[in-house]
Structure 1
Amino acid sequence: MKRLYKTLKITAFSFLFQGIIGCDYFPENSIERVIPTKISSPITKSKPEGQHTDIPLDSNELKVDSIPHQLPIDSTKNYVYLTFDDGPFKGSEKINKIIKEEQVKATVFIVGMNAYTQTLQKYLKDYEENDLIEVSNHTYSHANRNRFKSYYDQPEFVLRDVKRNDSIYRFKNRFVRLPGRNVWRLGKDFKNDHDLGSRLSSDFLAKNQYYILGWDYEWNKTHKNHPLKNPQDIYNGIIKRLENKETFKEKHLVILMHDDMFDNHEDAEQLRRLIRLIKNNKNIILETASNYPISLS
């Protein structure tokens, strides 16, 4: 009887341990283990066959011109940059459709590991094929699935995560949005968030020729089941910040949104309303993130 009890106890422990592993539970100090080794056959027009996703820090593979080609800036105008984080997501299809129909420019910052189904991969491909949309880097793992403290305390790991996303999707620009941190690194212009880790990681990315774009204003959804805030209020907030010079760079405003905000028809139409309000203001130009002015000296 004692032997049977001991056997049952060992078996129960084994099942419990496997259950923990199956739930992908690991402590924060084992950060490397929670990143998937690859996503499910990402459909991207530029991914080479057999591309490795673990890119060494000294890799020359991703080197491009450090100074992006930028369009001339009209000093008499204000510029607004529509940016969407965390795609591909259910709302990505509607964002892509509205941007195309309204004929405005926008930038989407994508998370590589989010493209885990054929449908989400198609949304990402649609983004890539839309000439009005600029696809940029929001890291592969979204700060190791929102483990912000341990993630940003390891700058080399952050760089690997950014490069991993870059190596899969072959972004046409070097602009990065950091998950959960409003940090800027644009040439000599910079701004930090509250923690030391994100500052050090941002400096490390900048030394490796990445530009980090934060945001001046956020349109967020307070609760999944609540409607979005009135687009007129968001537009008024944009105008107020531009007029009061409450932006990182005068006459330029970056607005942050998220793909999952627009996963139903009603909320998607709110996005359309905001875009039309901005379009009707002849003193505002809508532009992509890579045309945000960079001070190099």
Structure 2
Amino acid sequence: MVSGKLILNVIAGVSSLILFSCNNGSQQKKAVDSTKKTVVVNTMIPGTPIHYDSSKRYIFLTWDDSPQPPGTQNCTRTFREQGVKATFFAVAAHYNIDPLRKKILDSLKKAYPEFLVANHSYTHAFRDNYNFYYMHMDSAVNDILKAQQDMQIPLKIVRLPGRNTWAGNSEFRGPKTSEKVARKLDSLGYKIIGWDIEWQFIKGNIPKQSATALAKEVNDKFDVGYTNQPNMMIILAHDRMFAKPQYIDSLKALIQLLKQDHRNVFETIDHYPTVQQK
């Protein structure tokens, strides 16, 4: 079978021959102008590598259980207003509830490099039945594979439901209960991402820490080097925590506090060191 890349190369070569053999000046100008137009098109796709700056501290805002309106829309609007990037770990069962949720998540998939969508399983561990989920490796792995296919997520990046688990490149760190599932996903090319700090919630969806307390926790962990990767900080929160205006104000305040330190750079999780392709 002829690959798509080969076909594109052949087309490009033929186009070049036509351009250089053409004696009509207006046709040449038209071709050049057309080329100029393509220069301004954003060609970044999920997984496009970046170069790290050793003088910077990288912060990854990762929001779980997407899409959860109106929290998801409130968060994306806030991130855009503040000019920061974020990653949404999506649950396929939430995505399939209604057309609105599908529209929300599909729009996020098109918003790269501002936002990235990653995998957070299909059923969220059979609706939070964590022990049973991780005891049955095959069904848990299939649950995640089904979510990947159903939501058409571009990269094999997953956060396991209810487990602060890290795996990739045959390495594993996290609770033993999730090890078999994580190692199987690793063998299938997945990168499993945990978190350094969680913005916890109470009563189902109310942020527990204040923005000031959370910013201090971030800075303290950076200062002592207590993160999974040097100069990298993954913050976990959940979309539903920001459904109400007062909690959106807390999110804005956190971002503004973190932006006060000019070393801080916000990135999507495909640029985390254990994920980014070398």
Category of TM-score, reference length = shorter chain: 0.7 to 0.9
Match of 1:279 in 2: 259
The structure-2 alpha-carbon separation of the partners of 1:228 and 1:208, relative to structure 1 and needing over 3 Å to count, comes to: same
Identify which of 117, 120, 142 aligns with 1:138.
120
CA deviation string 1:213-233 (max 9, x = no partner): 000100011224856532011
Superposition deviation, residue 100 in structure 1: 1.6
Alignment check: 8 A CA contact 2:135 2:177 kept: yes
What CA distance in whole angstroms lies between the structure 2 residues aligned with 1:266 and 1:123?
22
| 1:82 maps to amino acid | L
The answer for the alignment partner of 1:199 in structure 2 is 179
Q: Is the 8 A contact 2:50 2:271 kept in 1?
A: yes
Report if the CA contact (8 A) 2:172-2:182 is conserved.
no
Whole-angstrom CA distance in 2 between matches of 1:262 and 1:182: 22
Tell me, yes or no, if structure 1 residue 177 matches structure 2 residue 159: yes
> Does the 8 A contact of 1:154 with 1:197 survive in 2?
no
Superimposed CA distance per residue, residues 179-225 of structure 1 (whole angstroms, 9 cap, x where no aligned partner): 000000132553112xx331111000000000000001000112248
Quick one: distance in 2 between partners of 1:246 and 1:151?
30
Deviates more, 1:182-191 or 1:168-177: 182-191
**Aligned partners of 1:70, 1:275: CA distance in 2, in Å?**
24
2:143 corresponding residue in structure 1: 161
Q: Distance in 2 between matches of 1:274 and 1:249?
A: 22
Alignment partner of 1:118 out of 79, 96, 99: 99
Bigger helix fraction: 2
Structure 1 residue ranges without an equivalent (≥5): 1-67
Aligned 8 A contact 1:181 1:198 in 2: yes
Unaligned runs of 5+ in 2: 1-46
Q: What's the CA shift string for 1:233-287, capped at 9, x where partnerless? A: 1001000011111111121110100011001111112111111111221111111
Please give the alpha-carbon distance, in whole angstroms, between the structure 2 residues aligned to 1:294 and 1:224.
Answer: 31
| CA positional deviation for 1:171 | 1.2
Percent of aligned pairs sharing the same letter: 29
SS in 1 for 2:219: helix
State the 4+ residue runs in structure 1 displaced beyond 3 angstroms.
224-228
| Alignment match, 1:12 | none
Conserved? CA contact 1:177–1:213, under 8 Å: yes
Out of 37, 48, 53, the residue aligned to residue 74 of structure 1 is 53
Q: Secondary structure at the match of 1:282?
A: coil
The aligned length equals: 228
TM-score, normalised by the number of residues in structure 1? 0.72
SS state of the match for residue 164, structure 2?
coil
TM (norm. structure 2) is 0.77
Match of 1:150 in 2: 132
CA-CA distance at 1:172 after TM superposition: 1.7
- After superposition, the CA RMSD in angstroms is 1.9
